[in-house]
Amino acid sequence: MGIDSQIVDYSAAVLIRYFRGGSGVSGAAPRFDAQRDSEILRGHWAISGPVRALVGYVLTHPHEAQSLLSSRIRVDDAVARGRINAVRTWAYRIQTGLPTAVVTSEPVRSFNTGPNLLLAWVLREAATFTARLAQWQGPAMPYFSVIEQAQKEIASVQRIEALREPLRAVLLGQRPTSGVVQLASRARQPIYKLAVQAYLLLQGLERFEPSAINTVAQTALIGPLEDWRRFELAVALAVGEALGTVCGLPVELRVLGGISSAPIITSGQFAVHWQQKTAFYVEPDREPSEEVTASILNAYGFSGGPDRPDLVIVDQASSSVIAVIEVKYLAGDTGNARFREAVDQVVRYARGYAATGDTSGILSRSLVALSAGAPIVRDPDAGVPFAVDFDGIVRGDLTAWASKIVAGLI
């Protein structure tokens, strides 16, 4: 498995909350947290391949829903609409004094059967979770067209005459019984087999079975188009989890939809901001080389540009930035060249978060993350930014970095 797939697996909990421009992504074993990610995983279940296949099949085969022939007792005056029940007719006439009353067992067809109830339950849950997923969307979001189409198809399904009765019969908070699931699984019609597959997928998802998670992730997960952007999110998750582990506090992940100044990850007093300078940044005085660069750009009609750190760690308790993180994804270039570039950027950004001439503190807490080939510091006491690569992230090397930040030892 290549590094790109590993990065997708590692950062899956962030990617499943990514509702910006992107495309489908998949890995081999996505990493999720049962308590934190279960609700949003169910939202993606509603637009996953098995559920979409079921809804599409119902729309193209609406007459496959089977009815059950049953009977109901009715009383008429001098009219028999079914088999006459002589004993009940005689008793009814004596009780009411109506000599022409007839009690019959009228044959009726009902779609309110076991398999149809399972089908209706799955369709209703799909509608519910699709609506929840839509709450995080905007017209420009990558999921929008998928969700919009899914909602239109589910609305069309709900108008199918044969399903109206079972859809009304499905009770909130009440799941199909095991007997109903068995009846549906034994049915010959594909419509019920697809409903059982979607239902079992949801059950497996709720039990956090790897096969169910993989199915949903591979058919419904969207991530950033660029490999380097996905790696930035993986580093952000790793940083947040390292701080959370050291602090002994849960890690909260935010939905990434549209433009927002909010952090994407928080744990206790620490907040991770992605692609933002934050309100704490103060433009420093330009150095001589920066003045020359700016004058050249101005001559060509260019402004300074939206230069900003990849990640910024904010201590919300003290309302200050405590670390700057630069992330570099290697694509054909050398690790040494990218590391030099990242160090230069960290130093430049640190000047905007520290008092004039006093960047040593923030630099000693900062971080450079490479996708591969991070160098090893020769002087651990030099007070320089920490360096890590993706293999080190997976090994948990960031815990030592986070421990020093939390303990204030750097």
The helix (H) or strand (E) run that includes residue 181 is helix 178-186
Alpha-carbon distance 191 to 201, whole Å?
16
The fraction of the chain above a pLDDT of 90, given in percent, is 41
Averaged pLDDT of the chain: 86
- Does position 329 have pLDDT exceeding 60, yes or no? yes
**Tokens found for residue 131:** 């609506």
Whether the per-residue pLDDT at 109 is higher than 60: the answer is no
pLDDT at 410 over 50: no
Give me the CATH topology for the region 227-407.
Restriction Endonuclease (3.40.91)
Closest to 103 in 3D by CA, of 71, 130, 126, 129 = 71
For the chain, first and last CA: distance in Å? 37
pLDDT at 320 over 50: yes
d(CA 176, CA 184): 10
- Higher pLDDT pick, 207 / 27: 207
Overall average pLDDT of the 186-212 stretch = 92
The first and second tokens of residue 341, run together, are 């570039």
Q: What is the pLDDT of residue 69?
A: 42
The answer, yes or no, to whether residue 180 has pLDDT greater than 70, is: yes
Residue type (1 letter), 386:
F
Q: Are 85 and 104 in contact (CB under 8 A)?
A: yes
- The tens digit of pLDDT for each residue in 222-245 reads 777 788 999 999 999 999 999 999
- CA separation for the pair 260, 246 (Å, rounded): 27
Mean pLDDT of 151-174: 79
Q: What 3-state DSSP class applies to 409? A: coil
Lowest mean pLDDT among 40-44, 224-228, 379-383: 224-228
CA torsion angle 349 352 356 360 (round to 10): -40
- Rounded Cα distance, 345 and 407, in Å: 26
pLDDT digits (tens, 9 = 90+) for 262-278: 899 999 999 999 999 99
Cβ-based neighbour number of residue 327 at 10 Å: 24
Strand-pairing partners, residue 76, are: 102
What 3-state class would DSSP assign to 277?
coil
pTM tops 0.75 = yes
Query: What was the pLDDT predicted at 264?
Result: 94
Of 60 and 289, more confident = 60
> Residue 158's pLDDT band (boundaries 50, 70, 90)?
confident
Do residues 374 and 398 lie in contact, with contact meaning Cβ atoms separated by under 8 Å?
no
% pLDDT > 70, the chain: 90
Half-sphere exposure of 380 (CA within 13 A, CB side): 4
Amino acid identity of residue 302, one-letter, is: F
Mean pLDDT of all residues in 35-42? 89
Predicted pLDDT at 102: 86
Domain ranges of the chain: 31-64+114-220, 68-110, 227-407
What are the pLDDT digits (tens) for 71-100?
A: 567 788 888 877 888 888 889 888 988 988
